[in-house]
Structure 1
Amino acid sequence: MSQIGNNIKKLRSVKGLSQQAFADLFGLTRGNISSYEERRAEPKIEIMLQIAKYFSIPIAELLQKQLTVNEILNFEDYFPAEPLTVMTGGLAKIPFLDREYFRQYDASERATEKMPLIHFPLDSNNKFLAVENSSFVPHPVGFSFEEHMVLFFEQVTVDILHTLGDHFGYFDGDTPFFGRFALDGNEIALVLNDWKKELYSAEMAPHFWKLFGKFERVL
């Protein structure tokens, strides 16, 4: 039995997408997505291929396996364990902040054009940032990512504000930290703990990033 409907629903949940937002990504209607999730219909093969490519998931697993949250967020099962900086055509060029960057952190030197790049298969027009998880970056309770894991973040834009609630994020201002987004009425904040948070505003918008996925090399 095909698992495409279950996996579409799980993908939406993990990525914080409404049925309409998911439909918009692939030129579909909210009704299409509802019918897939309720197993009243299945997408055409070209749509399945678009979904697999967009979320970087092998088509066979998208169709045949009930994907877990960890599998959706975890890139290592889907890409070869080659050096991250290998130059390969068709890959997104993503600024990379490693532990040495934070060891010698200087807020005046954080312009992304000066950073080394990771070349990685992400099919999106949005801006991304790759950050090596390390003890140099403060993180909130429940931030269960291993040291040296590379976390991929999508820059927060107006069209994804509604997806932020309770998702992990990264703030790259004068004092960078990992946090969890909290929505309270019209106020959006990235929260580190009871004493430290940053409020989202149009002026500060470029400094807010939402967790998109992770890369963990398995040796």
Structure 2
Amino acid sequence: MSLFGKNIRKIRSVKAMSQQAFAEIFDLKRGTLGAYEEGRSEPKTETIIKIANYFSIPIDDLLTKELTVNQLLKFKGDIEDHFFEETKHDFISVPCITPEQQNDYIKNASLSSFINSLPFISLPNDNAKKKRAYIVDDLEMSTENGGLYPKDIVFGEWIPKSAFDTISPSHMYLILTSNALVLKRIYPKGDTLTLTSDHKGIEEQHITTSEIKELWEIKSVLQHRLPDTKNNHVLDKIAFLENEFKKLKSSM
């Protein structure tokens, strides 16, 4: 279980806010907030993102670290002022595609006004590349021992069309076409791309590079649970062998 409930209760205590006042800021019912604080209910991913952005707290800290009073007192003035001390860390705001916004994203991804309407996630700026976040809402990239599950958040880096010939085989990508937004592994062969899921039994898809409107290479993931790392070395070997088999099959 995350430390989310304990942390928001501490934020309220430090800022002398009632449950009702805090809940109203984020369009929550007081009873719902109480359930979060008592650990009887887990919040939606969108709620976590809103609260983390509002208080300029990294999502990982809000969920997995017990925030201290000293950390929370770094904010200037009352909570209603919405002004906080500048951080010395270099953070960027990454647009996040929620499950409810996927269809709208397919239609409006090229509109800056739409991108600006998406929720944003703050991340340390490790490089200058354009990024996109995506909330997983199916089991297509899950495996028996792990993989990605609903509510996990993946973070991708922009791949321009001029760099499509550098697509890495078996790497995971977020792919936007004119009628779909999918999270898949890519196996390129010339201008044809084979898209696969990690979950067994899901059919491969085949598209050409000309069909791609946006391509984001997945570089990191925020999981909604503690990962099982016991069998990672075995799974890595299996993934390597599967990739070698695919290469052999394509060369025949």
The TM-score normalised by the length of structure 2 is 0.44
Between Structure 1 and Structure 2, the one with more helix by share is 2
Ranked by relative contact order (alpha carbons within 8 Å, sequence separation 6 or more), the top structure is 1
Between Structure 1 and Structure 2, whose CA radius of gyration is higher?
A: 2
